[in-house]
Amino acid sequence: MKQANQANLALSENLGRYQQLGDKTTDELQKILAKTNELRRHCQFNADSMHALNLARTRAAQAVTRGIGNTMSSTSAITNESK
C-alpha cells in the first residue's frame, strides 16, 4: 500500500510539472507570435518563433515517447533564446 501511495504521489507531481511546462510553453509561444503578427499575415515566421516551435515539438515528442514519469526539459531555453 505504501508503494502504491508513493507511486501515486510521484505521478501526481509529474503531472503537475507537465501541466506547468505546457502552460509556460503556451504563454511563451503566444508572446513570441504576438511580436510577429504582421509577418505571419504574409506567411513569414521569424527565427525566434521557429526555434520556440521546434523546442515545443521536441518536448512533446519526448513526453509521448518517454512518458510523464521522466524529467522533461524546461522552457527556459525558449525564453533565453528569444530575448
pLDDT string in tens for the chain (83-residue length): 888 899 899 889 888 888 888 898 888 888 888 887 877 777 777 788 888 889 888 888 888 888 766 655 554 444 444 44
- pTM, two decimals, is 0.47
| DSSP per position, 12-58 | HHHHHHHHHHHHHHHHHHHHHHHHTHHHHHTT---HHHHHHHHHHHH
* Helix, strand or coil, per DSSP, at residue 74: coil
